[in-house]
A and B are shown apart, each in its own frame.
Chain A
Amino acid sequence: MSIFYFIAFLSILFAVLVITAKNPVHSVLYLILTFFTITIHYILLNAQFLAIVNFIVYMGAIMVLFLFVLMLLNLNVESEPVKSNIVKFAGVIGGCCLLATLFGTLKLAATSSPVVLQDQGLGLVKNLGKVLFKEFLLPFEISSILLLSAMVGAVLLAKRERQPDGKVF
Protein backbone atom coordinates (compact mmCIF):
# COMPACT_ATOMS: atom_id res chain seq x y z
CA MET A 1 0.00 0.00 0.00
CA SER A 2 2.87 2.36 0.76
CA ILE A 3 4.23 1.74 -2.76
CA PHE A 4 0.86 2.76 -4.12
CA TYR A 5 0.85 6.03 -2.18
CA PHE A 6 4.38 6.80 -3.23
CA ILE A 7 3.66 6.14 -6.92
CA ALA A 8 0.35 8.01 -6.74
CA PHE A 9 2.17 10.97 -5.23
CA LEU A 10 4.71 10.85 -8.04
CA SER A 11 2.03 10.65 -10.74
CA ILE A 12 0.22 13.68 -9.36
CA LEU A 13 3.48 15.57 -8.88
CA PHE A 14 4.59 14.97 -12.48
CA ALA A 15 1.09 15.72 -13.79
CA VAL A 16 1.17 19.09 -12.01
CA LEU A 17 4.66 19.75 -13.36
CA VAL A 18 3.35 19.09 -16.88
CA ILE A 19 1.08 22.12 -16.69
CA THR A 20 3.39 24.36 -14.66
CA ALA A 21 6.56 23.83 -16.72
CA LYS A 22 7.42 26.90 -18.80
CA ASN A 23 9.18 25.04 -21.59
CA PRO A 24 6.92 22.82 -23.75
CA VAL A 25 9.66 20.21 -24.16
CA HIS A 26 9.95 19.96 -20.37
CA SER A 27 6.18 19.53 -20.21
CA VAL A 28 6.37 16.59 -22.58
CA LEU A 29 9.21 15.04 -20.59
CA TYR A 30 7.13 15.33 -17.40
CA LEU A 31 4.19 13.78 -19.22
CA ILE A 32 6.43 10.85 -20.16
CA LEU A 33 7.29 10.42 -16.47
CA THR A 34 3.59 10.58 -15.62
CA PHE A 35 2.89 7.77 -18.07
CA PHE A 36 5.75 5.81 -16.57
CA THR A 37 4.23 6.04 -13.10
CA ILE A 38 0.87 4.98 -14.56
CA THR A 39 2.64 1.93 -16.00
CA ILE A 40 3.81 1.11 -12.49
CA HIS A 41 0.21 1.46 -11.28
CA TYR A 42 -0.87 -1.13 -13.83
CA ILE A 43 1.84 -3.49 -12.65
CA LEU A 44 0.66 -3.01 -9.05
CA LEU A 45 -2.82 -3.96 -10.24
CA ASN A 46 -1.37 -7.17 -11.73
CA ALA A 47 -2.18 -6.05 -15.28
CA GLN A 48 1.15 -6.89 -16.90
CA PHE A 49 -0.06 -6.75 -20.47
CA LEU A 50 -1.81 -3.42 -20.07
CA ALA A 51 1.28 -2.05 -18.34
CA ILE A 52 3.63 -3.03 -21.11
CA VAL A 53 1.23 -1.83 -23.81
CA ASN A 54 0.89 1.50 -22.03
CA PHE A 55 4.67 1.59 -21.89
CA ILE A 56 5.17 0.83 -25.58
CA VAL A 57 2.29 2.80 -27.06
CA TYR A 58 2.18 5.90 -24.88
CA MET A 59 5.77 6.25 -23.72
CA GLY A 60 7.48 4.67 -26.68
CA ALA A 61 5.43 5.93 -29.61
CA ILE A 62 2.93 8.70 -28.91
CA MET A 63 5.19 10.74 -26.66
CA VAL A 64 8.08 10.37 -29.11
CA LEU A 65 5.82 11.93 -31.73
CA PHE A 66 4.86 14.73 -29.31
CA LEU A 67 8.49 15.43 -28.60
CA PHE A 68 9.27 15.23 -32.30
CA VAL A 69 6.67 17.85 -33.20
CA LEU A 70 7.66 20.17 -30.35
CA MET A 71 11.32 19.96 -31.27
CA LEU A 72 10.50 20.85 -34.85
CA LEU A 73 8.31 23.78 -33.81
CA ASN A 74 10.90 24.91 -31.25
CA LEU A 75 8.36 26.86 -29.22
CA ASN A 76 9.64 29.29 -26.63
CA VAL A 77 8.38 32.19 -24.60
CA GLU A 78 8.89 34.79 -27.32
CA SER A 79 7.06 32.89 -30.03
CA GLU A 80 4.19 31.73 -27.85
CA PRO A 81 0.90 33.04 -29.24
CA VAL A 82 -1.01 35.25 -26.82
CA LYS A 83 -4.59 34.08 -26.45
CA SER A 84 -7.47 36.55 -26.53
CA ASN A 85 -9.39 37.43 -23.38
CA ILE A 86 -12.55 35.60 -24.56
CA VAL A 87 -10.61 32.33 -24.84
CA LYS A 88 -9.11 32.82 -21.38
CA PHE A 89 -12.55 33.61 -19.90
CA ALA A 90 -14.05 30.51 -21.54
CA GLY A 91 -11.18 28.48 -20.13
CA VAL A 92 -11.82 29.72 -16.60
CA ILE A 93 -15.55 28.92 -16.83
CA GLY A 94 -14.83 25.47 -18.25
CA GLY A 95 -12.34 24.75 -15.49
CA CYS A 96 -14.75 25.85 -12.77
CA CYS A 97 -17.50 23.63 -14.21
CA LEU A 98 -15.13 20.65 -14.17
CA LEU A 99 -14.12 21.40 -10.58
CA ALA A 100 -17.79 21.64 -9.46
CA THR A 101 -18.61 18.35 -11.20
CA LEU A 102 -15.65 16.59 -9.65
CA PHE A 103 -16.50 17.86 -6.17
CA GLY A 104 -20.15 16.85 -6.59
CA THR A 105 -19.21 13.36 -7.74
CA LEU A 106 -16.70 12.83 -4.96
CA LYS A 107 -19.21 14.00 -2.36
CA LEU A 108 -21.88 11.60 -3.61
CA ALA A 109 -19.57 8.64 -4.04
CA ALA A 110 -19.61 6.12 -1.21
CA THR A 111 -16.28 4.79 -0.01
CA SER A 112 -15.79 1.60 -1.94
CA SER A 113 -14.51 -1.56 -0.37
CA PRO A 114 -10.90 -2.38 -1.23
CA VAL A 115 -10.49 -4.39 -4.39
CA VAL A 116 -9.42 -7.94 -3.70
CA LEU A 117 -7.61 -9.75 -6.47
CA GLN A 118 -9.65 -12.85 -7.21
CA ASP A 119 -7.53 -14.41 -9.91
CA GLN A 120 -3.74 -14.12 -10.02
CA GLY A 121 -3.68 -14.53 -13.79
CA LEU A 122 -6.30 -11.87 -14.35
CA GLY A 123 -4.25 -9.38 -16.34
CA LEU A 124 -2.15 -11.85 -18.32
CA VAL A 125 -2.18 -11.86 -22.09
CA LYS A 126 -3.94 -15.20 -22.45
CA ASN A 127 -6.91 -14.32 -20.26
CA LEU A 128 -7.18 -10.81 -21.65
CA GLY A 129 -7.15 -12.14 -25.21
CA LYS A 130 -9.83 -14.70 -24.44
CA VAL A 131 -12.10 -12.10 -22.88
CA LEU A 132 -11.50 -9.63 -25.71
CA PHE A 133 -12.18 -12.09 -28.49
CA LYS A 134 -15.13 -13.85 -26.85
CA GLU A 135 -17.17 -11.58 -24.61
CA PHE A 136 -16.17 -8.22 -26.08
CA LEU A 137 -15.63 -9.18 -29.70
CA LEU A 138 -18.05 -6.61 -31.15
CA PRO A 139 -16.75 -3.56 -29.22
CA PHE A 140 -13.22 -4.71 -30.00
CA GLU A 141 -13.89 -4.91 -33.72
CA ILE A 142 -15.75 -1.60 -33.70
CA SER A 143 -12.88 0.18 -32.00
CA SER A 144 -10.43 -1.35 -34.47
CA ILE A 145 -12.57 -0.05 -37.35
CA LEU A 146 -12.58 3.36 -35.67
CA LEU A 147 -8.79 3.33 -35.51
CA LEU A 148 -8.58 2.19 -39.12
CA SER A 149 -10.84 5.01 -40.28
CA ALA A 150 -8.73 7.51 -38.34
CA MET A 151 -5.66 6.13 -40.09
CA VAL A 152 -7.24 6.35 -43.54
CA GLY A 153 -8.37 9.89 -42.71
CA ALA A 154 -4.86 10.90 -41.71
CA VAL A 155 -3.42 9.48 -44.92
CA LEU A 156 -6.06 11.31 -46.98
CA LEU A 157 -5.32 14.60 -45.23
CA ALA A 158 -1.59 14.21 -45.73
CA LYS A 159 -1.90 13.13 -49.35
CA ARG A 160 -0.57 15.60 -51.91
CA GLU A 161 -3.30 16.98 -54.13
CA ARG A 162 -2.75 17.12 -57.84
CA GLN A 163 -3.64 20.53 -59.18
CA PRO A 164 -5.43 20.94 -62.55
CA ASP A 165 -2.24 22.27 -64.13
CA GLY A 166 -0.43 19.10 -63.17
CA LYS A 167 1.63 20.63 -60.35
CA VAL A 168 2.02 18.67 -57.16
CA PHE A 169 2.35 20.57 -53.93
Chain B
Amino acid sequence: MDLLQIGIKAGLVVIIFAISLVVAMYSTYAERKVAAFLQDRVGPNRAGPWGILQPLADGGKMFMKEEIIPARANAFLFIVGPALAIMTACIGSAVIPWGQEIKTGSLTIDLQVTDINVGILYIFGVVSLGVYGVMIGGWASNNKYSLLGAIRAASQNISYEISMGLSIIALLMFTGTLSLKEIAEQQHGANWNVLYQPFGFLLFMVCSFAETNRSPFDLPECETELVGGYHTEYSSMKLGFYLFAEYINMFISSAVMATLYWGGYNYPGMDWVTAHVGPVIGPLIGTAVLFGKIFAFIFFFMWVRWTIPRFRYDQLMDLGWKSLIPLAIGNIVLTGVWITVYDKFFK
Protein backbone atom coordinates (compact mmCIF):
# COMPACT_ATOMS: atom_id res chain seq x y z
CA MET B 1 0.00 0.00 0.00
CA ASP B 2 1.48 3.29 -1.01
CA LEU B 3 1.50 6.48 0.98
CA LEU B 4 -1.50 7.98 -0.84
CA GLN B 5 -3.74 5.05 0.00
CA ILE B 6 -2.65 5.17 3.63
CA GLY B 7 -3.50 8.86 3.69
CA ILE B 8 -6.92 8.17 2.17
CA LYS B 9 -7.60 5.45 4.74
CA ALA B 10 -6.54 7.71 7.58
CA GLY B 11 -8.85 10.42 6.26
CA LEU B 12 -11.68 7.91 6.02
CA VAL B 13 -11.10 6.80 9.61
CA VAL B 14 -11.26 10.40 10.82
CA ILE B 15 -14.40 11.12 8.78
CA ILE B 16 -16.20 7.99 10.00
CA PHE B 17 -15.19 8.70 13.57
CA ALA B 18 -16.48 12.26 13.30
CA ILE B 19 -19.71 11.11 11.66
CA SER B 20 -20.29 8.51 14.40
CA LEU B 21 -19.86 11.14 17.08
CA VAL B 22 -22.05 13.71 15.34
CA VAL B 23 -24.77 11.13 14.67
CA ALA B 24 -24.61 10.01 18.31
CA MET B 25 -24.78 13.64 19.43
CA TYR B 26 -27.84 14.38 17.36
CA SER B 27 -29.40 11.06 18.32
CA THR B 28 -29.77 12.42 21.84
CA TYR B 29 -31.60 15.43 20.37
CA ALA B 30 -33.64 13.20 18.05
CA GLU B 31 -34.54 10.93 20.94
CA ARG B 32 -36.06 13.82 22.84
CA LYS B 33 -37.78 15.21 19.76
CA VAL B 34 -39.19 11.79 18.84
CA ALA B 35 -40.36 11.28 22.42
CA ALA B 36 -42.01 14.68 22.30
CA PHE B 37 -43.64 13.89 18.96
CA LEU B 38 -44.96 10.54 20.18
CA GLN B 39 -46.26 12.06 23.40
CA ASP B 40 -47.75 15.13 21.67
CA ARG B 41 -45.33 17.61 23.26
CA VAL B 42 -42.98 20.19 21.77
CA GLY B 43 -39.64 18.87 23.07
CA PRO B 44 -36.41 20.86 23.38
CA ASN B 45 -36.85 24.17 21.54
CA ARG B 46 -34.84 26.78 23.44
CA ALA B 47 -31.20 26.36 22.34
CA GLY B 48 -31.04 27.71 18.79
CA PRO B 49 -33.80 27.44 16.17
CA TRP B 50 -36.01 24.35 16.90
CA GLY B 51 -33.55 23.53 19.66
CA ILE B 52 -30.88 22.20 17.29
CA LEU B 53 -28.10 23.44 19.55
CA GLN B 54 -29.44 21.36 22.43
CA PRO B 55 -26.77 18.59 22.10
CA LEU B 56 -24.03 21.22 22.43
CA ALA B 57 -25.70 22.64 25.51
CA ASP B 58 -26.02 19.15 26.98
CA GLY B 59 -22.38 18.37 26.21
CA GLY B 60 -21.25 21.65 27.79
CA LYS B 61 -23.30 20.86 30.86
CA MET B 62 -21.72 17.38 31.10
CA PHE B 63 -18.22 18.86 31.00
CA MET B 64 -19.02 21.45 33.67
CA LYS B 65 -20.49 19.00 36.18
CA GLU B 66 -18.50 18.03 39.24
CA GLU B 67 -16.62 14.80 38.83
CA ILE B 68 -17.14 12.40 41.70
CA ILE B 69 -15.23 9.19 42.32
CA PRO B 70 -16.81 7.34 45.25
CA ALA B 71 -14.49 6.90 48.25
CA ARG B 72 -14.50 3.11 48.30
CA ALA B 73 -14.56 2.67 44.53
CA ASN B 74 -11.67 1.20 42.61
CA ALA B 75 -10.49 4.46 41.05
CA PHE B 76 -8.55 2.97 38.12
CA LEU B 77 -11.28 0.59 36.99
CA PHE B 78 -13.87 3.30 37.63
CA ILE B 79 -12.21 5.32 34.86
CA VAL B 80 -11.47 2.33 32.63
CA GLY B 81 -15.18 1.38 32.52
CA PRO B 82 -16.55 4.29 30.48
CA ALA B 83 -13.34 4.45 28.41
CA LEU B 84 -13.80 0.82 27.36
CA ALA B 85 -17.49 1.39 26.68
CA ILE B 86 -16.88 4.21 24.24
CA MET B 87 -13.83 2.54 22.65
CA THR B 88 -15.66 -0.69 21.83
CA ALA B 89 -18.57 1.37 20.51
CA CYS B 90 -16.30 3.24 18.11
CA ILE B 91 -14.19 0.42 16.67
CA GLY B 92 -17.15 -1.48 15.21
CA SER B 93 -17.44 0.89 12.26
CA ALA B 94 -14.08 -0.21 10.79
CA VAL B 95 -15.46 -3.05 8.67
CA ILE B 96 -18.72 -1.51 7.45
CA PRO B 97 -18.70 -0.77 3.70
CA TRP B 98 -20.01 2.78 3.48
CA GLY B 99 -20.26 2.82 -0.28
CA GLN B 100 -19.06 1.50 -3.62
CA GLU B 101 -15.55 2.20 -4.79
CA ILE B 102 -15.07 5.69 -6.18
CA LYS B 103 -12.96 5.74 -9.36
CA THR B 104 -11.41 8.97 -10.59
CA GLY B 105 -8.77 8.47 -13.23
CA SER B 106 -6.17 6.08 -11.86
CA LEU B 107 -7.27 6.61 -8.28
CA THR B 108 -9.63 4.16 -6.59
CA ILE B 109 -11.08 5.09 -3.23
CA ASP B 110 -12.60 2.27 -1.23
CA LEU B 111 -15.24 3.58 1.15
CA GLN B 112 -14.50 0.90 3.72
CA VAL B 113 -11.72 1.21 6.25
CA THR B 114 -10.69 -2.43 6.07
CA ASP B 115 -12.11 -5.49 4.36
CA ILE B 116 -11.00 -8.32 6.63
CA ASN B 117 -12.42 -11.60 5.46
CA VAL B 118 -14.02 -12.39 8.80
CA GLY B 119 -15.84 -9.03 8.92
CA ILE B 120 -19.07 -10.27 10.51
CA LEU B 121 -17.17 -12.17 13.19
CA TYR B 122 -15.17 -9.02 13.91
CA ILE B 123 -18.39 -7.09 14.55
CA PHE B 124 -19.63 -9.96 16.65
CA GLY B 125 -16.41 -9.89 18.67
CA VAL B 126 -16.64 -6.14 19.21
CA VAL B 127 -20.24 -6.52 20.35
CA SER B 128 -19.26 -9.21 22.83
CA LEU B 129 -16.44 -7.01 24.12
CA GLY B 130 -18.84 -4.12 24.68
CA VAL B 131 -20.20 -5.63 27.86
CA TYR B 132 -16.87 -5.23 29.68
CA GLY B 133 -17.24 -1.47 29.88
CA VAL B 134 -20.56 -1.85 31.66
CA MET B 135 -19.38 -4.72 33.89
CA ILE B 136 -16.11 -3.12 34.99
CA GLY B 137 -17.74 0.24 35.62
CA GLY B 138 -20.60 -1.31 37.55
CA TRP B 139 -18.31 -3.40 39.70
CA ALA B 140 -15.75 -0.67 40.36
CA SER B 141 -18.45 1.72 41.64
CA ASN B 142 -18.81 -0.40 44.81
CA ASN B 143 -22.55 0.13 44.86
CA LYS B 144 -25.13 -2.63 44.98
CA TYR B 145 -27.35 -1.06 42.35
CA SER B 146 -24.43 -0.62 39.98
CA LEU B 147 -23.35 -4.20 40.56
CA LEU B 148 -26.86 -5.50 39.91
CA GLY B 149 -27.00 -3.45 36.72
CA ALA B 150 -23.62 -4.79 35.62
CA ILE B 151 -24.64 -8.37 36.29
CA ARG B 152 -27.88 -7.89 34.40
CA ALA B 153 -25.97 -6.42 31.47
CA ALA B 154 -23.57 -9.37 31.40
CA SER B 155 -26.19 -12.07 31.52
CA GLN B 156 -28.39 -10.27 29.03
CA ASN B 157 -25.57 -9.79 26.55
CA ILE B 158 -24.41 -13.39 26.78
CA SER B 159 -27.94 -14.72 26.35
CA TYR B 160 -28.76 -12.61 23.33
CA GLU B 161 -25.37 -13.06 21.70
CA ILE B 162 -26.21 -16.72 21.17
CA SER B 163 -29.39 -16.12 19.23
CA MET B 164 -27.71 -13.26 17.39
CA GLY B 165 -24.92 -15.60 16.29
CA LEU B 166 -27.42 -18.25 15.25
CA SER B 167 -29.44 -15.78 13.18
CA ILE B 168 -26.24 -14.66 11.47
CA ILE B 169 -25.34 -18.28 10.67
CA ALA B 170 -28.52 -18.65 8.61
CA LEU B 171 -27.52 -15.52 6.67
CA LEU B 172 -23.98 -16.82 6.17
CA MET B 173 -25.24 -20.13 4.79
CA PHE B 174 -27.11 -18.06 2.27
CA THR B 175 -24.39 -15.59 1.30
CA GLY B 176 -21.44 -17.95 1.57
CA THR B 177 -19.03 -15.28 2.75
CA LEU B 178 -18.05 -13.55 5.99
CA SER B 179 -16.80 -10.38 4.31
CA LEU B 180 -19.21 -7.47 4.70
CA LYS B 181 -17.98 -6.01 1.43
CA GLU B 182 -18.95 -9.11 -0.54
CA ILE B 183 -22.29 -9.33 1.27
CA ALA B 184 -23.02 -5.73 0.31
CA GLU B 185 -21.99 -6.40 -3.31
CA GLN B 186 -24.24 -9.46 -3.54
CA GLN B 187 -27.27 -7.32 -2.76
CA HIS B 188 -26.83 -5.19 -5.89
CA GLY B 189 -29.92 -3.24 -6.89
CA ALA B 190 -32.93 -4.45 -4.93
CA ASN B 191 -31.67 -7.98 -4.33
CA TRP B 192 -31.67 -7.46 -0.58
CA ASN B 193 -31.11 -10.24 1.90
CA VAL B 194 -34.17 -9.34 3.90
CA LEU B 195 -36.26 -10.79 1.05
CA TYR B 196 -34.62 -14.18 1.61
CA GLN B 197 -34.11 -14.00 5.36
CA PRO B 198 -37.03 -11.98 6.74
CA PHE B 199 -37.25 -14.12 9.83
CA GLY B 200 -33.51 -14.05 10.44
CA PHE B 201 -33.68 -10.27 10.20
CA LEU B 202 -36.41 -10.10 12.85
CA LEU B 203 -34.35 -12.26 15.21
CA PHE B 204 -31.24 -10.20 14.55
CA MET B 205 -33.10 -6.98 15.20
CA VAL B 206 -34.56 -8.17 18.51
CA CYS B 207 -31.09 -9.30 19.58
CA SER B 208 -29.50 -6.01 18.60
CA PHE B 209 -32.06 -4.19 20.75
CA ALA B 210 -30.88 -6.35 23.64
CA GLU B 211 -27.18 -5.96 22.81
CA THR B 212 -27.40 -2.17 22.71
CA ASN B 213 -29.33 -2.14 26.02
CA ARG B 214 -32.17 -0.29 24.41
CA SER B 215 -35.73 -0.36 25.61
CA PRO B 216 -37.65 -2.72 25.97
CA PHE B 217 -34.48 -4.54 27.05
CA ASP B 218 -32.82 -1.71 29.00
CA LEU B 219 -32.88 -3.59 32.30
CA PRO B 220 -29.21 -2.85 33.20
CA GLU B 221 -30.24 0.78 33.71
CA CYS B 222 -33.79 0.21 34.85
CA GLU B 223 -34.44 3.34 36.92
CA THR B 224 -37.51 2.06 38.71
CA GLU B 225 -35.55 -0.76 40.31
CA LEU B 226 -31.86 0.15 40.18
CA VAL B 227 -31.77 3.97 40.47
CA GLY B 228 -29.54 4.37 37.40
CA GLY B 229 -28.22 0.84 36.99
CA TYR B 230 -24.53 0.46 36.21
CA HIS B 231 -23.96 4.23 35.92
CA THR B 232 -25.59 5.18 39.23
CA GLU B 233 -22.31 6.47 40.68
CA TYR B 234 -21.10 8.20 37.55
CA SER B 235 -21.20 11.91 36.97
CA SER B 236 -19.76 14.44 34.58
CA MET B 237 -18.26 13.29 31.28
CA LYS B 238 -17.81 9.68 32.44
CA LEU B 239 -21.58 9.42 32.59
CA GLY B 240 -21.62 11.23 29.26
CA PHE B 241 -19.37 8.54 27.77
CA TYR B 242 -21.72 5.78 28.88
CA LEU B 243 -24.72 7.55 27.41
CA PHE B 244 -22.78 8.41 24.27
CA ALA B 245 -21.60 4.81 23.87
CA GLU B 246 -25.21 3.69 23.83
CA TYR B 247 -26.04 6.04 20.97
CA ILE B 248 -22.93 5.10 18.99
CA ASN B 249 -23.82 1.44 19.50
CA MET B 250 -27.27 2.19 18.16
CA PHE B 251 -25.75 3.88 15.11
CA ILE B 252 -23.34 1.00 14.44
CA SER B 253 -25.96 -1.70 14.91
CA SER B 254 -28.29 0.20 12.58
CA ALA B 255 -25.47 0.29 10.03
CA VAL B 256 -24.87 -3.44 10.46
CA MET B 257 -28.55 -4.26 10.06
CA ALA B 258 -28.79 -2.07 6.97
CA THR B 259 -25.67 -3.68 5.46
CA LEU B 260 -26.44 -7.29 6.29
CA TYR B 261 -30.14 -7.35 5.49
CA TRP B 262 -31.34 -4.16 3.83
CA GLY B 263 -28.88 -3.88 0.99
CA GLY B 264 -26.38 -1.46 2.50
CA TYR B 265 -25.59 1.22 -0.06
CA ASN B 266 -27.62 -0.53 -2.79
CA TYR B 267 -30.88 0.83 -4.07
CA PRO B 268 -33.10 -0.01 -7.06
CA GLY B 269 -31.91 1.65 -10.24
CA MET B 270 -28.43 2.41 -8.91
CA ASP B 271 -26.71 1.46 -12.19
CA TRP B 272 -28.88 3.89 -14.15
CA VAL B 273 -28.18 6.67 -11.65
CA THR B 274 -24.43 5.99 -11.62
CA ALA B 275 -24.33 5.99 -15.43
CA HIS B 276 -25.99 9.42 -15.48
CA VAL B 277 -24.22 11.27 -12.69
CA GLY B 278 -20.74 9.80 -13.09
CA PRO B 279 -18.53 7.47 -11.05
CA VAL B 280 -17.88 9.95 -8.23
CA ILE B 281 -21.35 11.23 -7.39
CA GLY B 282 -22.96 7.81 -7.97
CA PRO B 283 -21.30 5.98 -5.06
CA LEU B 284 -21.84 9.01 -2.85
CA ILE B 285 -25.58 8.80 -3.55
CA GLY B 286 -25.31 5.14 -2.45
CA THR B 287 -23.68 6.30 0.77
CA ALA B 288 -26.50 8.78 1.28
CA VAL B 289 -29.00 5.96 0.76
CA LEU B 290 -27.18 3.88 3.37
CA PHE B 291 -27.38 6.75 5.82
CA GLY B 292 -31.08 7.12 5.05
CA LYS B 293 -31.56 3.47 6.01
CA ILE B 294 -29.47 3.94 9.15
CA PHE B 295 -31.53 6.94 10.23
CA ALA B 296 -34.71 4.98 9.59
CA PHE B 297 -33.43 2.25 11.93
CA ILE B 298 -32.42 4.78 14.57
CA PHE B 299 -35.90 6.24 14.39
CA PHE B 300 -37.27 2.74 14.79
CA PHE B 301 -35.14 2.20 17.90
CA MET B 302 -36.62 5.38 19.39
CA TRP B 303 -40.14 4.58 18.28
CA VAL B 304 -39.95 1.24 20.07
CA ARG B 305 -38.54 2.87 23.19
CA TRP B 306 -41.55 5.13 23.56
CA THR B 307 -44.07 2.49 22.56
CA ILE B 308 -43.26 -0.78 24.31
CA PRO B 309 -42.91 -0.98 28.11
CA ARG B 310 -39.85 -2.58 29.65
CA PHE B 311 -39.69 -6.34 30.11
CA ARG B 312 -39.46 -7.99 33.49
CA TYR B 313 -36.10 -9.68 34.02
CA ASP B 314 -37.39 -13.27 33.99
CA GLN B 315 -39.43 -12.49 30.88
CA LEU B 316 -36.28 -11.22 29.21
CA MET B 317 -34.42 -14.46 29.96
CA ASP B 318 -37.40 -16.58 28.91
CA LEU B 319 -37.63 -14.74 25.61
CA GLY B 320 -33.90 -15.11 24.97
CA TRP B 321 -33.40 -18.74 25.88
CA LYS B 322 -36.79 -20.35 25.32
CA SER B 323 -38.08 -18.49 22.27
CA LEU B 324 -35.33 -16.81 20.29
CA ILE B 325 -32.73 -19.60 20.38
CA PRO B 326 -35.14 -22.37 19.24
CA LEU B 327 -36.56 -20.05 16.58
CA ALA B 328 -33.05 -19.19 15.36
CA ILE B 329 -32.12 -22.88 15.16
CA GLY B 330 -35.36 -23.55 13.28
CA ASN B 331 -34.44 -20.75 10.88
CA ILE B 332 -31.05 -22.39 10.26
CA VAL B 333 -32.69 -25.76 9.54
CA LEU B 334 -35.24 -24.18 7.20
CA THR B 335 -32.51 -22.25 5.38
CA GLY B 336 -30.47 -25.44 5.00
CA VAL B 337 -33.45 -27.36 3.60
CA TRP B 338 -34.27 -24.53 1.21
CA ILE B 339 -30.67 -24.27 -0.05
CA THR B 340 -30.53 -28.05 -0.62
CA VAL B 341 -33.87 -28.15 -2.43
CA TYR B 342 -32.94 -25.13 -4.54
CA ASP B 343 -29.56 -26.60 -5.52
CA LYS B 344 -31.13 -29.92 -6.43
CA PHE B 345 -34.22 -28.95 -8.38
CA PHE B 346 -33.99 -25.35 -9.54
CA LYS B 347 -30.42 -25.03 -10.64
Contact = CB atoms under 8 A, between A and B. Distances in A.
B288 interface: no
A56 B125 contact: yes
A67 interface: yes
B161 A60 contact: yes
Contact of B121 (A53, A59, A65, A72): A53
B122 A52 contact: yes
B155 A61 contact: no
Contacts of B178: 125
Contacts of A25: 139
A38 interface: no
Nearest to A63: B132
B151 A72 contact: yes
Contacts of B161: 60-61
B42 interface: no
| Size category of the binding interface on chain B | 20 to 34
A68 B151 contact: yes
Contacts of B150: 71
B135 A71 contact: yes
Contacts of A49: 118, 121
Contacts of A65: 154, 158
Given A65-B158, A125-B118, A52 B125 contact: yes
Contacts of B136: 29
B157 A52 contact: no
A64 B118 contact: no
A71 B129 CA distance: 17
A64 B125 contact: no
A169 to B, nearest CB: 17
A15 B132 CA distance: 19
B340 interface: no
A119 to B, nearest CB: 15
Given A48-B118, A125-B118, A64 B151 contact: no
Contact of B117 (A32, A64, A68, A125): A125
Chain A contact residues: helix, strand, loop or mixed: helix
B139 A55 contact: no
A80 B116 CA distance: 45
Interface in B248-307: none
A48 B117 contact: yes
Nearest to A74: B147
A124 interface: yes
A71 B118 contact: no
B316 to A, nearest CB: 16
Given A64-B128, A64-B154, A67-B154, A52 B118 contact: yes
Contacts of A61: 128, 158, 161
Contacts of B124: 56, 60
Contact of B125 (A29, A60, A71, A125): A60
Nearest to A32: B132
Interface in B67-101: 77
Interface in B151-208: 151, 154-155, 157-158, 161, 178
Contacts of A52: 118, 121-122, 125
Interface of B: 77, 116-118, 121-122, 124-125, 127-129, 131-132, 135-136, 139, 147, 150-151, 154-155, 157-158, 161, 178
Given A48-B116, A72-B151, 16 more contacts: A29-B136, A52-B125, A53-B121, A59-B125, A60-B124, A60-B131, A61-B158, A64-B128, A64-B131, A64-B135, A65-B154, A67-B139, A68-B135, A68-B151, A124-B117, A125-B117
8 contacts: A48-B117, A49-B118, A52-B125, A55-B129, A64-B158, A68-B155, A71-B151, A125-B178
